[in-house]
Structure 1
Amino acid sequence: MRFSHESAALLHGACLYRQEPDVHTTRPTSSARTSARLPSMVYGGPLTRERPQGQTPGTSQSSSLLRGREVRHRRHTLAVPDSDVTHVYGLPVTTLPRTMADCLLDLPCPDALVIADSLLRIAARPDRFHPGPERQRVRDLLREVSTRIEQASCRRRRLRARRLLPFLSPWAESPGESVLRLALLRAGAPEPVAQHPVQVRGKWYFPDLAWPALCLGVEFDGAVKYADPGTLYQEKLRQEHLAGTGWRLVRVSWNDLRGDDAALTTRLLQCLPPGTAFELTPRAWMR
């Protein structure tokens, strides 16, 4: 048994899109049960109703509320060669390239992109002030991942996984940034540049996503970002400095990402300089 998918990604140090992911393992032969419900634990997150063991939905038996979600042990029948297995904290885990490939092949698109971006960042170690050296590391890793995707001839999301590879970025610094990029790409926006450097008054600013030719940027604002009381003032100055050089910055939160992609795109279009073009080509396959 080897840990794989989200479980392997977590052990490698990657960020995940969802709290309390299922536990994924691989085994070379199939078993009667491909998944098993794990004991409920209170970790935080949204309220969910806990059913007594064996109770089916819709019955009137008593239940209790827990914070968290139902977590399952998911067993994947996959032949994983020894060359695709490493050990992390003494546990057998699929290697970083194999983990990326499995997530791209089997997980929903937001989960897959968040994990793949994060693992790519871990491997490439990009430095926004000294970009360049990470490019070869990115190419090498994506080549390995691509090889494993092509070998997965029976996996139903192989085409989507192959098409996602060019859109991965080691510059995403949080799950929110990855999901934001996915929402914009899915809605058809031209591919943005992540962490594009803009110099203002001797300082460097790096919008999360940008279209430099249009002087248009998008910034993801998570709740943790404003935990420091001084952050709000610094972000206000940052936006004013960028605006002084002709840049327009659109701020996006998790609430915006939970809504319609079209609404987010409309906000972007409203910030375009007059007379500029922003051709939209929706990418429905990113669902």
Structure 2
Amino acid sequence: MFEHLPHIIRSARLEHGRRESEAVRRGVQRGELVRVCRGAAVDAAAWRAASSRDRHLIRVLAVTPRLAPRAVVSHASAAACWGIPALAPWPSRVHVVDPDRSTSQTTANVVRHPGSLTPEDLRSLPPITVTSPARTGADLALTSPFRDAVVALDALVQRGLATADDVRHALDGRGSPRGMPSARRAVAFATPEAESPGESLTRVVLHELGAPPPTLQKRFPWGDGDLFADIVDFWWPRFGVVLEFDGRVKYAEGRWSGRRSAEQVVVDEKIREDRIRNRPEVHGFARTVWDELSHPPRLAANLRSAGLPLP
């Protein structure tokens, strides 16, 4: 889980050898080390090379030894540990649930949330303890905007970390906190059929535009004996309209690339699109990208041009 992260140098453990602790301080001053939090630093080059999520995981590992004994990594920090994607940037502070607190507290490195924890809410990811996937999903649904919650919950259920019923059960144990109606709406909207954050966000934007509910991951068989199949992200059989979300990662990995060059992937995708467009049941084909999802009217115009009626 954390083996790929750079080694954390903990100067607090070096108080008996002040020259070594002083060497860490000088390393930070020279730019050779990056101080993650008080008493913890990592190699500067490794920090620069780390992804945003990995930097947050480094913060989690750096902070947790200084936490109260019953505090547990939670919310966005637990999502990072479970590999759940996020629309928003990963936070600069580590989030924890502390059962010994009655109010929230934000410090330079930690956000402490009050709340009770049951044994089923806890999971061990050595060397730390985090909230379970279901409890993490419930916390995110209660505290995140609807779009962000759906992206996280779709990934949670798509990857088999928890079911929607698991998250509902975790919500049931929370009483009636602020945000519960929106949280339950997000859980009800979640699906395991969205294969990427972009597809999840597209689902939300389509819903906000008043589009009819689409079929996800529709298979169009082709070839001798229907040996092959083209799979599209969104399909409206009543109107014969296909919509594909085009994230750049789609052409770089997964079922799309194999060992092909980027140029060959683009050529093959054009052939695939033509094959889909030529099917008798397909009357319109549209694509959307991240930028268009930030401007829903563009997506609405795109879909109308493809033949999908919108309010």
Residue in 1 that maps onto 2:83: 13
Residue in 2 that maps onto 1:265: 300
> Deviation string for 1:195-235 (max 9, x for gaps)?
11112343311111221232212111112334422221111
Residue 271 of structure 1: CA displacement? Answer: 1.1
User: Would you say 1:155 and 2:157 are equivalent positions?
Assistant: no
User: Would you say 1:252 and 2:288 are equivalent positions?
Assistant: yes
Unmatched tracts of structure 2, length 5 or more? 1-70, 253-261
User: Would you say 1:233 and 2:304 are equivalent positions?
Assistant: no
User: Would you say 1:120 and 2:157 are equivalent positions?
Assistant: yes
Residue 31 of structure 1: CA displacement? Answer: 7.1
The answer (yes or no) to whether the contact 1:2–1:94 under 8 Å persists in 2 is: yes
Secondary structure at 1:195 match in 2 = strand
Secondary structure at 1:176 match in 2 = helix
Residue in 2 that maps onto 1:243: 277
Letter in 2 for 1:254: W
Could you tell me which of 70, 81, 98 is aligned with 1:27?
98
Secondary structure at 1:230 match in 2 = helix
Cα distance in structure 2, aligned partners of 1:158 and 1:31? 19
Cα distance in structure 1, aligned partners of 2:78 and 2:242? 34
Residue in 2 that maps onto 1:224: 249
Say which is worse superposed, 145-154 or 242-251, in terms of deviation.
Answer: 145-154
C-alpha change, 1:89 and 1:249, in structure 2 (3 Å) is: farther
User: Would you say 1:214 and 2:239 are equivalent positions?
Assistant: yes
Residue in 1 that maps onto 2:138: 101
Q: What are the within-5 Å matches in structure 2 for residues 60-79 of structure 1? A: 73-79=110-116
Letter in 2 for 1:13: G
Could you tell me which of 45, 67, 81 is aligned with 2:118?
81
TM-score, scaled relative to structure 2: 0.67
Cα distance in structure 2, aligned partners of 1:223 and 1:265? 22
Secondary structure at 1:149 match in 2 = helix
Residue in 1 that maps onto 2:200: 178
Residue 164 of structure 1: CA displacement? Answer: 2.1
Letter in 1 for 2:298: A
Residue in 2 that maps onto 1:61: none
The answer (yes or no) to whether the contact 1:12–1:88 under 8 Å persists in 2 is: no
User: Would you say 1:37 and 2:108 are equivalent positions?
Assistant: yes
Q: CA RMSD in A?
A: 2.1
Letter in 2 for 1:4: S
Residue 148 of structure 1: CA displacement? Answer: 2.1
Unmatched tracts of structure 1, length 5 or more? 39-72, 125-137, 281-287
Q: What are the within-5 Å matches in structure 2 for residues 186-197 of structure 1? A: 186-197=208-219
Cα distance in structure 2, aligned partners of 1:25 and 1:13? 17
Residue in 1 that maps onto 2:73: 3
Larger proportion of helix: 2
Residue 279 of structure 1: CA displacement? Answer: 5.6
Q: Which is greater in Rg?
A: 2
Cα distance in structure 1, aligned partners of 2:160 and 2:104? 35
Residue 184 of structure 1: CA displacement? Answer: 0.6
TM-score, scaled relative to structure 1: 0.72
Residue in 2 that maps onto 1:68: none
Cα distance in structure 1, aligned partners of 2:148 and 2:94? 14
Cα distance in structure 2, aligned partners of 1:230 and 1:36? 50
Cα distance in structure 2, aligned partners of 1:240 and 1:226? 17
Letter in 1 for 2:170: R
Residue in 2 that maps onto 1:57: none
Letter in 2 for 1:2: V
The answer (yes or no) to whether the contact 2:103–2:114 under 8 Å persists in 1 is: no
Residue in 1 that maps onto 2:44: none
